[in-house]
A and B are shown apart, each in its own frame.
Chain A
């Protein structure tokens, strides 16, 4: 028997082992140990009678697969933890709270860089949540919160009789003078009214968006002209009112920013007006924009009480006042109420029994948009909550994997407070990154929002991410860090040291974390239900609205507005004759099948209500106001408004013929219930003057103000008999009507070169515009709903994946013991299903309560519409099922062998 020395076995082992690629000293150590093992094995085999050569071969046999053995050993021997060095513990030299924080941040940065996947998902999630909030807050800030850009805007109020919707109604000149003289709580009061003059410059007519105001209007707003002077009190009367202030924009556009424009005389509606001042460029014409259109020109009201349209009851003016400094709105309201009560006693026939109201100007200007914005703000808060829940979830999962590390640090003497601070530093860093990305996202999104926003959200155009928004986002990020970070941090501080140190045994020690994560996902699901129900209700509302029959057919109709004002159009006959010529010219255009002119059209954005007095009935202040349309005969065939009874207008219904009119169905039903209005006589406007008009037909109702509002009372008069000079042409043609616009404009100008043509648009656009605000809310809710859905799916996917990987061994054992695939699917699905189910139940309950805040924006659908709820629940169920399918597939592929070998 040969005597092998250890040295011989060392060379035998080394010859069989591939290089380990570890430290050479360590390699020698390992080879020595293996050689010693082989030697002992060999010695034992020889002792038991195995021939020497055979014994050597047997002892060395396990090393035959040289590469694998070397790799196994090298992997096992390599240091396992490559995590960054954690910051020093408390009590070490140079420790201070600030220093700790900086060190924590540095450590956190390295940790986050080490987990790029986790970091990216967390930051993107937060950026979505915070970005959506910052964007909507930017809008809210500029539209609702930012004070009006006028001096001391909180004291500016609209004054008027309280309307059914709480707004301040119109007033008349004489009543206004009484208010101004008798009320003592107002520093200033001013009137405004609409005005659409046609400015002639170099032979080109241009309709100017303008407004007539009291002489003290700009003084009341605290605005001084940048050039020239303000209006003067002695100019605000019928003789001297033709002086103008113009906008900076108009000054630059039409007058080349020429300073000598002051004193310049311009011709408008054939009358000479003198420009006396230019308003500063920063002035925002919000009042004119809200009530009429953003004004580029201001003239004086210029009334006195002798004018017949200055009468009590001639309510076509709006009053704005500035309440005295230190006077409350209530005091001022009581004051004006008392004045109005006096007037009612003095002139009982002139005033209906209405109380007065003062509406803060800011509220008046934002009342239409406020509910929608608040709904959106609520919706983005939900998005943020979902983002928080998801990030908290991510952190919890991460925490579970880091328990070992944290426990080690505790073992080395870190206090729990210290650990919580370290974790909060990580969360703060995440929130700061997410918040920063969110602000960038908002800065990109806000201009896009401004583009898709409806025209009624005027101030949205200047919405931008400013200091206030950044401050808001910073605050929100901080709150978010606390909200999503507290749970994992507290959880980490309670880690059971002993359990965690051998955390790799994959025991059930994560149960509380697991529960928290499940609760968070359930919350995700619940929040997503609420958001999606909101979005679903809005989608259905808009669908129903667009499906509403407006009472006319807007397809293939071009609309264009003109105004015939000035000396040439003083007489109605001239206007009527020109109208007929224009209609004939338009009718001759190729592809045109019918043409009409109307004083106003439905959904055109104006209103023209006239008093309606039936012959033989007593005249009362409660006589109805009825929407009036002055139309040419073909109007009903262009608009496809059906005739219900009687006849339509013909060319014979002109001045000099018997005055006739048509009424809408609603008018007929309300004023002649159960009776036939045809042949009845009606006086419109004044109850005491003007001809009696004979009702000759009943036509279908149209939706005038907006699609969502039920039809109002309506009547039609022939343009030949009640002649309007502000007209809208409606042209029905085949094909795309918008390409007809320039030809149509030429057709009108060939009749009269001095007529401005404006607001040319397909009728379909007007219909769409009327749905604009709802469509805007719908679009945003859809975005928020989609991100909620996505985040919920990701959150659920994360939790189920984690569960599967946590339970791989269990699944492996079950598989090994013969569990079928169906059993395993049931096992995994069961854990996810409970989460989804409880989330759905809570979500449906919360949604049922929350959707009533959406009520104002809904149309034709109940806030608790069962179909919407069912669809959302089904959608979420499907999405969550899909989110679980990947981990389930993984669970089914679990190889029991691999699973059980796992450490």
Chain B
């Protein structure tokens, strides 16, 4: 369905927050992880990832800072904030609720 893409995009924030929940990551790593973990079903590229990251940062849900480690490039690493953590928790709850609703209404079962 053509809505799949939109649906995935709508959940982008959730995915990013979830990845940052584990540890700090930079943009390219985030894009790669989403790609890998979804077996290529979800793809972020430079033009779609960064607006989402900046928006999350502006809302205080994640914070980015430049880190230069010896022998690697200078990269911007993102870390989830306390607010972001709360947001993630609640997003999880509401998606859960949504799926429960969907299941009830449309008899869809999710994995």
Whether A62 pairs with B54 at a CB distance below 8 angstroms is no
Q: Which residues of B contact A861 (CB under 8 A)?
A: none
B87 on the A face (CB < 8 A):
yes
Return chain B residues, CB-CB under 8 Å to A75: 51
Complex contact B10–A501 (CB within 8 A)? no
Cβ-defined contact, B90 with A499, below 8 A:
yes
- The B interface, classified by DSSP as helix, strand, loop or mixed, is helix
Stretch at the interface among A258-266, A615-623, A809-817, A878-886: A809-817
Interface residues of A in 39-58 (CB under 8 A from B): 39-41
Nearest residue, chain A, Cβ from B43: A62
Q: What residues of chain A lie closer than 8 Å to B69, measured between beta carbons?
A: none
Q: Is A80 an interface residue (CB 8 A)?
A: yes
Asked if A897 and B6 sit within 8 Å, CB to CB, the answer is: yes
B41 in the interface (beta carbon within 8 A): no
Please name all residues of chain B whose beta carbon is closer than 8 Å to the beta carbon of A369 when the two chains form the complex: none
Interface membership of chain B positions 45-71, coded 1 if the CB is closer than 8 angstroms to chain A and 0 otherwise: 111111111110011000000000000
Given contacts A62-B46, A901-B10, contact A498 B3 (CB under 8 A): no
Contact with B along A524-544 (1 / 0, CB 8 A): 000000000000000000000
Assess the A73–B90 pair: CB atoms within 8 A: no
Residues on A with C-beta less than 8 A from B54 are 30, 73, 76-77
Q: Contacts A36-B28, A36-B75, A896-B3 known; A507 to B97 CB distance under 8 Å? A: yes
Residue of B nearest to A68 (CB): B47
Check B47 against A65 for contact (C-beta < 8 Å).
yes
Task: Give the docked Cα–Cα distance between A542 and B73 (Å).
Answer: 89
Contacts of A817 in B (CB 8 A): 102, 105-106, 108
Among B6, B13, B48, B74, the residue within 8 A (CB) of A36 is B74
Neighbouring A residues of B55 by C-beta, 8 Å: 76-77
A65 to chain B, nearest CB (A): 7
| Interchain CA distance A813-B110 in the complex, whole Å | 15
Query: Is the beta-carbon distance between A505 and B59 smaller than 8 angstroms?
Result: no
Q: Complex formed: what's the CA distance from A679 to B49 in Å?
A: 112
- Cβ-defined partner of A502 (8 Å) among B6, B53, B87, B102: B87
Contacts of B46 in A (CB 8 A): 34, 37-38, 41, 59, 62-63
- Point out the residues of chain A lying under 8 angstroms from B9, CB to CB: 901
Q: Is A368 an interface residue (CB 8 A)?
A: no
Indicate which residue in A39, A63, A816, A903 contacts B47 across the interface (CB closer than 8 Å): A63
Complex Cα–Cα for A377 and B105 (A): 50
B22 within 8 A of A: no
Report the Cα distance A114→B110, complex, angstroms.
Answer: 44
Interface string of B19-51 (1 = CB under 8 A from A): 000000011100100000000000001111111
Does A508 make an interface contact (CB < 8 A)?
Answer: yes
CB nearest to A815 among chain B residues: B3
For A814, the closest partner residue in chain B by CB is B105
Q: How far is the CB of B3 from chain A (nearest CB, A)?
A: 5
Give the residues in chain A near B105, CB-CB below 8 Å: 814, 817
- Cross-chain contact of B27 among A33, A59, A65, A816 (Cβ < 8 A): A33
Residue pair B52, A6 in contact (C-beta under 8 Å): no
Complex alpha-carbon distance, A902 and B101, angstroms? 18
B86 A498 Cβ-Cβ under 8 A: yes
Closest A residue to B56 by beta carbon equals A76
Contact of B3 among A33, A62, A816 (CB under 8 A): A816
**Residues in B whose Cβ lies below 8 Å from that of A61:** 45
- The reply to whether B50 and A34 contact each other, CB–CB distance below 8 Å, is yes
State in angstroms the CA–CA spacing of A505 and B10 once bound together: 11
Residue among A38, A59, A76 with max Cβ neighbours from chain B (10 Å): A76
Q: Which bracket fits the contact residues of B?
A: 35 or more
Is B73 touching A33 in the complex (CB atoms < 8 A)?
A: no
Closest to A80 in B: B58
Instruction: Indicate whether A165 reaches chain B with its CB closer than 8 angstroms.
Output: no
- Kindly state whether residue A72 has any CB partner on chain B within 8 Å: yes
Chain A's nearest CB lies how many Å from the CB of B79? 15
Proximity string of chain A (453-493) to chain B, C-beta cutoff 8 Å, 1 when within and 0 when not: 00000000000000000000000000000000000000000
- Contact residues, A811-865 vs B (CB, 8 A): 813-814, 816-818
Tell whether, in the assembled complex, residue B76 and residue A33 are in contact, meaning their CB atoms are under 8 Å apart.
yes
B51 touches A501 (CB 8 A): no
- Expressed in whole angstroms, the Cα–Cα distance for A30 and B57 within the complex equals 13
Cα(A898)–Cα(B3), bound, Å = 9
Closest residue on chain A to residue B53 by CB atoms: A76
Give Cα A502–Cα B2 distance, bound, in whole angstroms: 28
- Closest residue of chain B to A61 (Cβ to Cβ) is B45
Contact B2 A897 (CB under 8 A): yes
Q: Which of B6, B52, B91 touches A900 (beta carbons < 8 Å)?
A: B6
Q: Is B7 an interface residue (CB 8 A)?
A: yes
Chain B residues contacting A813 (CB-CB under 8 Å) are 98, 102
Task: Please give, as numbers and ranges, the residues of chain A lying within 8 Å of B53 by CB-CB distance.
Answer: 76
Contacts of B7 in A (CB 8 A): 816, 900
Chain A residues contacting B6 (CB-CB under 8 Å) are 896-898, 900-901
Given contacts A498-B90, A900-B3, contact A36 B73 (CB under 8 A): yes
Which residue of chain B is the closest to A70 with respect to CB atoms? B47
CB neighbours (8 Å) of B97 from chain A are 507-508
* Inter-subunit contact A501/B86 (CB<8 Å): yes
Query: Is the CB–CB distance between B3 and A76 below 8 Å?
Result: no
A69–B28 CB distance below 8 A: no
Residue of A nearest to B95 (CB): A505
Chain A residues in 8 Å Cβ range of B28: 36-37, 40-41
Kindly state the separation between the CA atoms of A508 and B45 in the bound complex, as whole angstroms. 33
Among A71-88, those with CB < 8 Å from B are 72-73, 75-80
Cα–Cα distance between A816 and B108 once the two chains are bound (Å): 13
Bound CA–CA A65/B9 (angstroms):
19
Identify A73's interface contact among B26, B50, B94, CB under 8 A. B50
CB-CB under 8 A from B10, the residues of chain A are 900-902
A34 and B53 alpha carbons, distance in the complex (Å): 12
A505 touches B1 (CB 8 A): no
Complex contacts, B13 vs chain A, CB 8 Å: 903
Interface flags for A869-903 (1: CB within 8 Å of B; 0: not) read 00000000000000000000000000011101111
With contact pairs A37-B46, A897-B2 given, residues A76 and B51 touching in the complex (Cβ less than 8 Å)? yes
Contacts A33-B50, A63-B46, A816-B3 given; does A507 touch B73 at CB 8 Å: no
Flag if B73 contacts A39 (CB, 8 Å): yes
Residues on B with C-beta less than 8 A from A816 are 1, 3, 7
What separation, in Å, do the CA atoms of A816 and B47 have in the docked complex?
27
Residues of A with C-beta under 8 A to B50: 30, 33-34, 37, 73, 76
Q: Which of A1-37 contact B (CB under 8 A)?
A: 6, 29-30, 32-34, 36-37
Contact partners of B51 in chain A: CB under 8 A: 72-73, 75-77
Given contacts A34-B46, A498-B86, contact A505 B106 (CB under 8 A): no
Chain B nearest Cβ from A464, distance in angstroms: 56
User: In this complex, what residue of A is CB-closest to B9?
Assistant: A901
**Closest Cβ neighbor of B76 among chain A residues:** A33
List A contacts of B75 (CB < 8 A). 36
B108/A62 in contact, CB under 8 A: no
| A15 smallest CB distance to B (angstroms) | 14
Of the A-B pairs whose beta carbons lie under 8 Å apart in the complex, a sample of 23, sorted by A's number, is: A6-B74, A29-B76, A34-B50, A36-B28, A36-B73, A37-B31, A37-B49, A38-B46, A65-B47, A68-B47, A72-B51, A73-B54, A76-B53, A77-B54, A80-B58, A502-B87, A813-B102, A814-B105, A817-B106, A898-B6, A900-B6, A900-B7, A902-B10
The 5 A-B residue pairs with the shortest CB-CB distance, nearest first, are A76-B51, A62-B45, A76-B55, A62-B47, A76-B54
Please give 9 more A-B residue pairs, beta carbons under 8 A apart, in addition to A34-B46, A41-B46, A502-B90.
A36-B28, A36-B73, A37-B46, A37-B50, A69-B47, A77-B58, A78-B58, A813-B102, A897-B3
